[in-house]
Structure 1
């Protein structure tokens, strides 16, 4: 059952969702929309403190274990509106955990998993990457933001010009990535694949396949194997 309230008159909900990625350390990726009127036209990566003695985390991990091989994503949904840039100054807010089930026709069912609001703290240092959309030209090659910790590395497709697609995948690298580099959320450029300069309906990165990218396009070479997809959107992103 979808327990999420419907959108406002302009077609967008004026609340925020943050994708949940990882198992050992959780990262939170803001679900963006290009429409500047939506209030969601930001691509951002965070680490939050969930202030509930680990209950939400355990609920997420247990459910993920049951659905790991399915097209099921997870998000924190904020039931109370605030402007996203407020997080850059530090902020406390409340969330619900959601299971996001992708149906056979590609539509998404947002299923609320918690009945009470969970408090979350965002400190200034939790803002790992934050950029307003609308001022970045299409790159020549496939480009992702790279973040994570230890052996859990996540890639989020860099949201340049529109139309485009938004995705997040977890990958395994053959060599560790320097923690200080990861904390900066650099780009990873896969120069064997040209950027589509358009929206795609499925990821150019295939599960289980190996790819090679360069940090910031010219830096360290990273050999990686694609793992679980944690998000995909080529529809409402562009509306």
Structure 2
């Protein structure tokens, strides 16, 4: 499939931003981070963008997801033009293309543009309140935690967990889970850490998830005594390679 002209290069690396798409009812967008601060992607961030196309992108994404629900296929939006990611904190309008990200047998990823080549990019608006979580990975890096720790976000019955990116090297993962106890939306908007005390953090890079699909685990919402039992569902992203080396 044809793709638009390459965007500006930065340090020998394509300096554009991609945001993972998560959810079915309400869409959440997770920035695909890289530790290397020279590339401009050294931010772990969660957003709720307004996609201003009358729902066409969401429909295309959901229809394709339905066909690939049980495959290692992820979905993202790619920005064809460069901006510095912290600009989103003050609000920003930008354009995106929808992508299907297919994981090959060797673990490499194939980014396939789903937006038709002849179609214009989709307009997206980010308001300051759409920035749910934003952390600079190069600014006082978090030490490796004692226990496996994720960031919880979502709405209603759709809860997503993103592995909290502490020291480098590490791995980036997002999964969708079914919780036994309700986590209210106000708590999820704060993107709190969820600590799984039954699993020690490996304090380094791993090649596959420690959380197995279909299995149940218990996590504790950081800063509270609230414990949540959850069953692991679909994996929406995994990266233990370019995250550390790009």
Q: TM-score range by the shorter chain?
A: over 0.9
Task: Compute the RMSD of aligned alpha carbons.
Answer: 1.5
Superposition deviation, residue 2 in structure 1: 7.9
Superposition deviation, residue 190 in structure 1: 0.2
Per-residue Cα deviation, 1:180-221 (whole angstroms, up to 9, x for no partner): 111100000001000011111000000000000000064300
Whole-Å separation in 2 of the counterparts to 1:229 and 1:38: 26
Superposition deviation, residue 12 in structure 1: 2.3
Per-residue Cα deviation, 1:7-66 (whole angstroms, up to 9, x for no partner): 947342200000000000000000000000010000000000000000000000000000
Aligned to 1:20: 21
Unpaired segments ≥5 residues, structure 2: none
Aligned to 1:10: 11
Aligned to 1:221: 227
Decide whether the 8 Å contact of 2:7 with 2:80 is kept in 1.
no
Aligned to 1:193: 199
Whole-Å separation in 1 of the counterparts to 2:148 and 2:223: 10
Per-residue Cα deviation, 1:72-99 (whole angstroms, up to 9, x for no partner): 0000000000000000000000000000
Aligned to 1:126: 130
TM-score, length of structure 2 as denominator length:
0.94
Relative to structure 1, is the Cα distance of residues 186 and 9 closer, same or farther in structure 2, using a 3 angstrom cutoff? closer
Aligned residues: 239
Which stretch shifts more, 134-143 or 104-113? 134-143
Decide whether the 8 Å contact of 1:3 with 1:110 is kept in 2.
no
Partner-residue secondary structure (3-state), 1:146: strand
Relative to structure 1, is the Cα distance of residues 127 and 6 closer, same or farther in structure 2, using a 3 angstrom cutoff? closer
Relative to structure 1, is the Cα distance of residues 28 and 41 closer, same or farther in structure 2, using a 3 angstrom cutoff? same
TM-score, length of structure 1 as denominator length:
0.97
Relative to structure 1, is the Cα distance of residues 236 and 97 closer, same or farther in structure 2, using a 3 angstrom cutoff? same
Whole-Å separation in 2 of the counterparts to 1:45 and 1:59: 22
Q: Does 1:117 align with 2:121?
A: yes
